Structure 1
Amino acid sequence: MKVNGSAAVYRFVVKPNTANDPRSLGYLADAHSLSLNQITQIRCHDLYFVRGGLDEPEAEKLAAQLLHDPVTQLIEIDLLELPLTDHNLNQKEHPATRTIEVALRPGVTDPVAEQIVRAAHLLGISSLESACTGLRFIISGDGLTDDLLHLAAKRLLSNSVIQTYALGEITPSFSTAAQSHDLVEPIVLRGLDDAGLLAVSSLRRAALNLAEMHAIQDYCERENRDLTDIEFEMLAQTWSEHCVHKTFKSQVSVKRDKSDSRSFPTHYSHLFNQTIRAATKQVNADWVISAFTENAGIVEFDGTNELSFKVETHNHPSAIEPFGGANTGIGGVIRDVIGVSAKPIASTDILCFGPADLPLTELPEGVLHPRRIASGVVAGIQDYGNKMGIPTVNGAIWYDPGYVANPLVFCGSVGLAPKGSNPHATTPGDHIIVLGGRTGRDGLRGATFSSMTMDAQTGEVSGASVQIGAPVVEKGLVDVLMLARDSGLYNSITDCGAGGLSSAVGEMASECGGDVQLKKVLLKYPGLAPWEIWLSEAQERMVIAVPKKNLEALSALCIQYEVEMTDIGNFTGSGRMRVFHGATLVLDLDNEFLHHGIPQRHYSARINKPRFETGQTISIDDQTNSDFQNTLLKLLSHPNIASKERTIRDYDHEVQGGTVVKPLCGLHHDGPSDGSVIKPLASMTNHAFVLSNGLNPEYGKIDPYQMTWLTIDEAFRNAVACGADPSRIAILDNFCWGDPTRPEIMGDLVQSAQACLGAAVHYEAPFISGKDSFNN
């Protein structure tokens, strides 16, 4: 059926067939927590829009076989005439009932829509061209003014970073071709003064300081040319705090309070090497296979297999788009484990939020409410892990007012691989093969965004840095890569991290060189500039170095598992990274400068005495039994003590069948475990491993040194309590810190790093990997 000579557009409205819909009741509870008490009922319906040459029988087939569950849902089908008017629904309804519809902004990845198109074609509905999704909220109450509805939409029902909304019906936004954008802009640094250099860094959101900008300026002078925008963006990504960890690699001069009797070095020439790496070297455990050199730390497991472990943070993305930030946080560490040729077998997460009952009047400008952040983050982790079939077996949740504007989201993944099965020797002549998801604007400048301080405008200017994950795509990618690994089809592998192809290909080519043709890169939609194609991150995308003789076998695997494969160039022996866009050379950088030209940073640290405060003393003799009972109940109801079972039950911790000791234990399986024990089914031995954690932010307010000791001690004790061998415990450090340019903040970091050295050596537990996140 055609409408006005164009493809037909159908809207499918999927409703729960019960009034007690948990999702709708959850939205109502959230509305009341935000003091939107005029709202007495919220009903949430799913919207699916499809476009193409469909006729009515095909639309009905799509509805019946794909878009709803007839046991629990009802579905309506509407043939639309576009454009819609925003108030159609409201004109039909009673004044006490209003409608808000929400949809993704153009250009934001819609993985559900992508799967609708794919599944429709499998059902034989090949005329379906495109799809998009949305939500309909039917709101009932008294005094539902437009102002109240706009407030509800902005604060509760939508996120302006990735979504748009309408009071009434929303017009679907299908992916459309943008005008081709081949322009490469020059970045003129030669001749600029200090103010001019910093202005360029700020304008491009590069997060580079003056010394780093001077180093790039000097390189331009030596090369006798200006940089292109793609070259400058690659340098900013490669030199970002997120990618190169320049704070931990810095020199630090330390001043100490004279009244503080504790002893700390007065100078560090390389903070990381003299503390955390030094601990691993001193412990010198022969069962550590790789520490700090690859995407994840690797240890020997059972004689024939090795375990890999990586934990990262996704704080800033989760603050502005909680679901997508946490979703891709889990996706990113799964990708890290795949990047050492391992199969992901377990996930973990530690989450820090502001108070869930924070009054709306106390919410800072441009900040999502902590309750909304928490629900979105938990949903994002659940969505990715469950769909990937990876058990989430360990974690923690902590609430504190300090996390209102900047939540902390730690995501971790454990992998298993046959011993010695991770090749990492890129050879000149190998083909640069990209597997998995396509490139779009979502994910741009993720590395530099994660290296900056957030403010009220962060969501507006950094929205493109947030992605929506596609776990179904990554699942197929894992299957292909495990088979390719076992067949020896690639020479090295890495993930498209926060810098997309720039970070992946750049790292793999760092010792040899590479030539890339951007025209071969598969795009989600046309219209991307060369620097956008090169820099955009994708969770579900990996790069491997493949000898020519193995291309045919790899292609057959990709076809079998419906994973897209693209040959975008070759590794060379030139010592330079070169990128072409068609016939135009748009990037030509010397590898030595790109990877080793960054100036070492210098910081000043001030170590203060522990910040103990005198608390209130209450005599036990003055307390009655009733007082004790009330105190106990208050303690048990505190968010940091109360049960986290509701969250844990959202996660699948049984999938893959290896969880021996589960996150909840006890007679009724409702008490928190000290850790989890996993016995991988792929291991033919009786070996198992323990996954535990430690967290103590409250003590960090008093004494960062002791906080770190206590945190490592807690993680260690939790592991031993679950049966771990104390002589075979490896640890990961994950730092979430403030602005390191402030001497007192840097002083706290020095204390914590020094405690890492002391505690790890004391317990003979080597660090194998870690991550840092600053400007929180």
Structure 2
Amino acid sequence: MTRVIAIESRRGAEDPRAHALGEHVSRALGTPTSARSVRLFATTHQEVSDLELAAFAQGALADPLVDDVEVSALLSPLGAKSYVHLARLPGLTDDEARSAELSWALVRGEPATDGATFFAQELVVFDEALSPATLERLARDVLGNPNVHELSWGPLPFVPVAPKRVSLAAHARVLAVPLPDTDEALVALSKARSLGLSLVELSAIAAHLAEPEVARARAANGLPEAPTDCELEIFAQTWSEHCKHKEFGATIAIDDRERGEARTLRSLFKTCVAGPTREVCATLEARGQGFVVVVFDDNAGIVRVDETKNLTLKVETHNSPSALDPYGGAITGVLGCNRDAVGTGRGGGRLYFNTDVLCFGTPSYAEPLLPGQLHPARVFEGVVAGVRDGGNKSGVPTVNGALVFDDRYAGKPLVFCGSAALVPASVSVDGVSLPAWKKDVRVGDHIVTMGGRVGQDGIHGATFSSSELGEGQSRGVVQVGSPFTQKLVVDLLEEASALGLIAGVNDSGAGGLSSSAGELARLTGGARVDTSLVPLKYPGLRPWEIFVSESQERMTLAVRPEHLAPLLTLAAERGVEARAIGEFTATGQLEVVFGTVPVASLSLAFLHDGVPPLSLSAIVESPRSRPCQLHARSLGPLLLDVLASPNVCSREATVRAYDHEVKGKTVVKPHMGVAGHAPQDAAVLLVDHEGHEGVAVANGICPRYGDLDPYAMAQGAFDEAVRSLVSVGARLPGDARGPFEFFAGCDNFCVPDSVFHPETNPDGREKLGKLVRIAEGLAEMVRAFEVPLVSGKDSMKNDLRAGGRKISVPPTLLVTMVAKVRDVRRVVTSEWKRPGDVVFLVGETHDELGRSIALSVLRDEGGLAPRVRVPETRALYTLMTTAHERRLLASSHDLSDGGLAVALAECCIGAGLGARVHSGADTLPAFSALFSESHARFVVSVPAARADEASALFGDRASRLGEVGGDALEITWRGEHTLRLAVADLARAWQRGPQ
């Protein structure tokens, strides 16, 4: 008999969760349906009575003011007739259950058990007797996910069943995997074992292992001539696109039809990202602005904040996992990026903030779903919940982000998770002050794994993320994050690093120990890992599974022999599992054993530098343009439709799910203004509570312009991030002074499969040509604005192929930027401040309506893509900086999606104040002037007494539009009354969203 603790909100009490659940189910079924959730904890504790379990639950698991608790082996909640039951699949992380186990041990004064004794579940019950088919649909497509949950459904009562555990045959067998002689068999082997290795790569591995010196060494170490299963998995992980970035490092033969020439580009990364950044760093260093500490050389980029602190920055994608399990993919994306931010150098520091930029298909997506495809609305809901819990449950504020909707993201969403940490500049090690940002791993240092245990979850995650999504993906790649475990790990890492106990750290993310230990091994020239010492979730894992599993919340440390005992003692005191599993060597080999059994021995030089280089071909086409139609539609109703469109409407319902104020440092929040509705250009946070210095963070992303001109799209994304920071008061390097006033970026490329294949990817050369132009546009902006890219990532296979169809994302570039703010008391927000202030448009508007929101509402694909006029833009930002320094600006809002009309509306909505706007000399018609999305523009308001001073400063780079006041937005253009809309109507459309 299996007993469960059932916790349900008391009938008659306010239950927001039940209300939201009922709405969710009703939307899915298309008819009003009541639903409520009962939290369950199945337990294996047979030695205690029902009364004891109920008392424990009331004190530790439930809220006695609003919850009812029942302990039973038969459940039939009052008034309900049918149910859906959700239980976590065996082996997946179960944070609620682990918290219950620790609470049980604490309440009873017993040591925490090593195995699972509680199992968290959910019972969703319905007052209606729903049919089996309806319940199955709700279970599989609405409430649960077969990749994550064990699902059941039916009429009540519900009879609990014994929780399932993972049961594997215990063995330490290592298999030799002979490499076939034929090309076809090699390709089949790679596919069968989910290696993701190409024919050329497998051939290179075979040739390397056949070298006489290598063969003799393998025989001496007790290894077979053929590679072992573990060695093939190590190659697959290390050489995966996710880890090695082969396409970004390829030699590309370019048929450039825009320039009318053939040319060759060697490595997009070196030519367009690293090269320009290193040039800029050298310029800044020579000018006394050497704020860059680490660039492209660790888990995160590092910039200087002051004499004692640095800031780490990292943005990662978790696209493929989020397509399979939206919640799990997003939360592990957040937590993994957190580990990168504190897992740099010697590790430690304190997490500062998170960012999230999310790209989905539209919630109203109406195409038939392909096999394995989740509806975009469901993906959206799950990803947002994962981002929420990743930050909220870890105590890290989520302060900046964006939502982008385009049905080309319906196959695979883009989930950009960003993190920053404030880390010490130096650390005392045995009385000697050393740079905290620099790893100091030595031969003889212990390899220590710390944090979560290893299971089969997450195996092949690196290769999975390196390929297009398809039908029947293995659920073994699914991971579920544990904010609870990670909080303990991150806090311990901070404490141990401050005590000088850690020489170097690496996150056990993609590829697990294969990646983290294998990368650290390069610092000494070798490593030896004993997989029999690795803590496991359950027995029976094969050695190769232990080595490449991506089970979450784990860090790999390098620890001096004399520091091992203090570290392990500290970890035990803090409730974190840590264990020494090997040592760093100078053998030139990555060696893996299971006790006395040899598992793998690979040359580090060949493993990390032996991957055959790629040679690709690309076609660069000329930018597209065609005239847009003359639209006679009234501009007032059009503005309301633009405000309600998916890519403009309020994000407040999503943003409010995130805690953006935890830690008490957030000065400029995602929404500000008198009622908290005004969207902001950037977030600003205090560095510490004792001073006034701050850090601003913003992002730029505009993929739709890439349909017309990918070069212009890249420059637009970069400019959007820059101008958002300039808008709040940050200063570009050319306008700043000293080594601590940083302004740095992070680039993230997400593109579809860009490798040409005549059958499976016939337009691959054109897609690669777009990537080339995106990278080249980015490179020009880095040099022109002197903003280094201190970190970044590329994700190359963002496609879904299923049911005979293929859905590919549009080529997408996200630019995230951070900048120092000298005094947070002087930052400027977007909303109007007072009636009578004078409104200016700063910057020039051009007839650039291509892929604008207004034309998309009108279903017009004409127009030119907005482009950045680099010298003029850079000079304009110096004028904006001067205006900030003179404290001229009462408000400032950058122009982006929807153009001037939307920016004016948002300023009005945020303040609850209208504005009277007019233009008598503008050469553009009202439609273009109001809805063009030209870059490098701001709407600012200035106190009336200083309006002439502002006019003198900006000269012909700004135009005086009108003044703040009234309860409506009134626009008169070239003497003609164009529109008048009440602020209440603007707010209603913007907050309502698409219908």
Q: TM-score range by the shorter chain?
A: over 0.9
Find the counterpart in structure 2 of residue 214 from structure 1.
Answer: 203
Aligned residues: 743
Post-superposition CA distance 1:108-128 (Å, at most 9, x none): 221211111111101117598
Query: What is the one-letter code of the residue matched to 2:682?
Result: G
* Identical amino acids, percent of aligned pairs: 36
Match of 1:43 among 36, 40, 43: 36
Distance 1:214 1:328 in 2: 34
**Structural mapping, 1:731-750, within 5 Å:** 731-741=745-755, 742-750=764-772
Counterpart mapping for 1:308-457 below 5 A? 308-340=312-344, 341=347, 342-359=349-366, 362-419=368-425, 420-457=435-472
1:155 equivalent in alignment to 2:141: yes
C-alpha separation in 2, matches of 1:637 and 1:347: 27
Contact kept in structure 2, 1:297 and 1:769, CA below 8 Å: yes
Alpha carbons of 1:357 and 1:510: their partners in 2 closer, same or farther (altered >3 Å)? same
Contact 1:705 1:754 in 2 (8 A): yes
Instruction: Please name the residue that 1:117 is paired with.
Output: 101
**Partner residue in 2 for 1:305:** 309
1:231–1:589 contact (8 Å) kept in structure 2: yes
Tell whether the 8 Å contact from 2:8 to 2:37 is kept in structure 1 after alignment.
no
Q: How is 1:250-289 mapped onto 2 (pairs within 5 angstroms)?
A: 250-257=250-257, 260-261=258-259, 266-284=263-281, 285=284, 286-289=290-293
Higher RCO (CA < 8 A, seq sep 6+): 1
Render the CA deviation track for 1:291-323: whole Å, top value 9, x for unaligned.
111000001112221111000000010011011
- The alignment partner of 1:433 has SS state of strand
Would you say the 8 A contact 1:429–1:547 is kept in 2? Answer: yes
Instruction: Indicate if the aligned counterparts of 1:48 and 1:134 stay in contact, CA closer than 8 A.
Output: yes
Is the 8 Å Cα contact of residues 3 and 71 (structure 2) preserved in structure 1? Answer: no
Q: Structure 1, unaligned stretches of length 5 or more?
A: 81-87
Q: For 1:667 and 1:282, how far apart are their aligned partners in 2?
A: 45
The Cα shift of 1:181 comes to 3.0
Which range moved further: 666-675 or 691-700?
A: 666-675
> Matched residues in 2 for 1:247 and 1:586: separation?
31
Counterparts of 1:535-614 in structure 2, within 5 Å, are 535-614=548-627
Within the alignment, does 1:139 sit opposite 2:126 as a pair?
Answer: yes
Partner SS state of residue 481, structure 2: coil
Structure 2: state its 5+ residue gaps. Answer: 216-224, 285-289, 426-434, 734-741, 756-763, 799-995
| 1:667 counterpart = 2:689 | no
Give, in whole Å, the separation in 2 of the partners of 1:20 and 1:483: 42
Relative to structure 1, the CA distance from residue 645 to residue 534 in structure 2 (aligned partners, 3 Å threshold; closer, same or farther) is same
Contact 1:10 1:59 in 2 (8 A): no
Q: 2:774 aligns with which of 752, 766, 769?
A: 752
Give yes or no for contact 1:318–1:324 (8 Å, CA) kept in 2: yes
| CA–CA separation in structure 2 for the residues paired with 1:465 and 1:19 | 41
Report the CA distance between 1:141 and its aligned residue.
4.3
The answer for the alignment partner of 1:84 in structure 2 is none
Partner of residue 83, structure 1? none
Give the CA deviation at 1:423: 3.5
Q: In 2, distance between residues paired with 1:703 and 1:305?
A: 41
Structure 2 vs 1, CA of residues 268 and 176 (structure 1 numbering), >3 Å: closer, same or farther? closer
* 2:486 match: 474
Residues 176-216 of structure 1, C-alpha deviations (whole Å, 9 max, x = no match): 54321322222111x42111111111111111112111111
Distance in 1 (CA, whole Å) between partners of 2:678 and 2:552 is: 34
Give RMSD over aligned pairs: 2.0
TM-superposed CA distance for 1:26, in Å, is 2.8
Q: Determine the C-alpha separation between the residues in 1 that align with 2:16 and 2:58.
A: 23
Give 1:178's aligned residue. Answer: 168
Determine the structure 2 residue equivalent to 1:108.
92
Q: Which whole-Å deviations, capped at 9, do the CAs of 1:463-500 have from their partners, x for residues lacking one?
A: 11121111111111111111111111121111101111
1:486 to 493, 498, 517: 498
Whole-angstrom CA distance in 1 between matches of 2:700 and 2:411 = 23
**Is 1:293 matched with 2:302?**
no
* Deviation sequence 1:567-620 (CA, Å, 0-9, x none): 10111111111111121011111111111110111111111122334433213x
Out of 12, 17, 25, the residue aligned to residue 31 of structure 1 is 25
Distance 1:403 1:27 in 2: 26
Q: What's the CA shift string for 1:498-538, capped at 9, x where partnerless?
A: 11111010101124211111111001111111111111113
How many angstroms apart in 1 are the aligned matches of 2:261 and 2:389?
45
Take 1:438 and 1:112, find their aligned partners in 2: how far apart are those partners?
16
Which one has a bigger Cα radius of gyration?
A: 2
CA distance in structure 2 between the partners assigned to 1:32 and 1:280 by the alignment: 52
**Matching of residue 530 in structure 1 with residue 543 in structure 2:** yes
Please, which moves more after superposition, 64-73 or 410-419?
64-73
Q: Which residue of 1 aligns with 2:804?
A: none
Tell me, in whole angstroms, the C-alpha distance in 2 between the residues paired with 1:637 and 1:421: 48
User: Using the alignment, how far apart are the partners of 1:466 and 1:549 within structure 2?
Assistant: 38
Aligned partners of 1:166, 1:145: CA distance in 2, in Å? Answer: 13
> Which residue is equivalent to 1:495?
507
Q: What is the identity, as a one-letter code, of the residue corresponding to 1:200?
A: L
Distance in 1 between the 2:279 and 2:4 partners?
A: 66
AA of the residue aligned to 2:660: H
Tell me the equivalent position of 2:521. Answer: 509
In structure 2, the residue corresponding to 1:49 is in which secondary structure?
strand
Secondary structure of 2:44's aligned partner:
strand
Q: Distance in 1 between matches of 2:117 and 2:510?
A: 28
Residue 452 of structure 1 aligns with an amino acid whose one-letter code is: S
CA distance in 1, matches of 2:626, 2:177: 53
What is the distance in 1 between the residues matched to 2:334 and 2:626?
Answer: 38
CA apart distance, 1:89: 5.6
The answer (yes or no) to whether the contact 2:372–2:471 under 8 Å persists in 1 is yes
Q: Is the 8 A contact 2:42 2:163 kept in 1?
A: no
Partner of 1:77: 71
Task: Find the partner of 1:763 among 757, 777, 785.
Answer: 785
Deviation of residue 18 (structure 1)?
4.3
Alignment partners' CA distance in 2, 1:579 and 1:497: 18
SS in 2 for 1:739: coil
Q: Is this contact kept in 1: 2:5–2:69, CA < 8 A?
A: no
- CA displacement at 1:363 relative to structure 2: 2.3
Once residues 262 and 569 of structure 2 are traced to their aligned partners in structure 1, the CA distance between those partners, rounded to angstroms, is 58
Q: Secondary structure at the match of 1:249?
A: coil
CA distance in 2, matches of 1:44, 1:630: 42
Q: In structure 1, how many angstroms separate the alpha carbons of the residues matched to 2:54 and 2:139?
A: 31
Q: Which moved more, 1:67-76 or 1:296-305?
A: 67-76
Structure 2 distance, partners of 1:333, 1:424, is: 19
Question: What is the distance in 1 between the residues matched to 2:364 and 2:716?
Answer: 29
Query: TM-score, with normalisation over the residues of structure 1?
Result: 0.92
Contact kept, 8 Å, 2:5 with 2:53, in 1: the verdict is no
Comparing 164-173 with 662-671, which one deviates more in the overlay?
A: 164-173
SS in 1 for 2:790: strand
- Structure 2 length as normaliser, TM-score? 0.72
Alignment partner of 2:104: what SS? helix
Residues 46/135 of structure 1: CA separation in 2 closer, same or farther (3 Å cut): same
Contact kept, 8 Å, 2:4 with 2:40, in 1: the verdict is no
Question: Cα 1:16–1:534, aligned 2, differ >3 Å: closer, same or farther?
Answer: farther
Task: Give the letter aligned to residue 744 of structure 1.
Answer: E
Specify the code of the residue in structure 2 equivalent to 1:281: R
Provide Cα deviations, 1:142-161, integer angstroms capped at 9, x if missing partner: 7x321222112111011011
1:356–1:22 distance in 2 versus 1, CA, 3 Å:
farther
